[in-house]
Amino acid sequence: MTLRKHLIDVLAREPRSVSSLARELGLTRGDVEDALRHMIVSARAAGHRIVVVPARCRSCGFTFGDDRLTRPSKCPECRNSRIFEPQIGVDTTPPAT
């Protein structure tokens, strides 16, 4: 099974962060981020919906954009570095017609 298909299977079960995927797969965060970007294109082409729970500041609650897959270094509002990582998931259920 290719890495992209494996990522789709893992993320279809429950949303995960880049760091947790890297630990689970034994890869670097950069490698996982690259694979995720390609997997997102493949999953969308296959008709799957990508779900991204955006990164959020633990101090002030600022929510980052859902286009970011990795944890930002600092919050632009309060400048704190305590930030929840974004969670990426894949919804593989076919759309209702």
* Domain spans in the chain, listed from the N-terminal domain onward: 3-91
Predicted local confidence at residue 87, as pLDDT:
94
Under the banding of pLDDT at 50, 70 and 90, the label for residue 5 is confident
Predicted local confidence at residue 95, as pLDDT:
63
Look up the pTM and report it: 0.81
Q: What is the largest CA-CA distance in the chain?
A: 45
pLDDT digits (tens, 9 = 90+) for 39-87: 999 888 888 899 999 999 999 999 999 888 888 999 999 999 999 999 9
Predicted local confidence at residue 97, as pLDDT:
59
Fold of 3-91: Arc Repressor Mutant, subunit A (1.10.10)
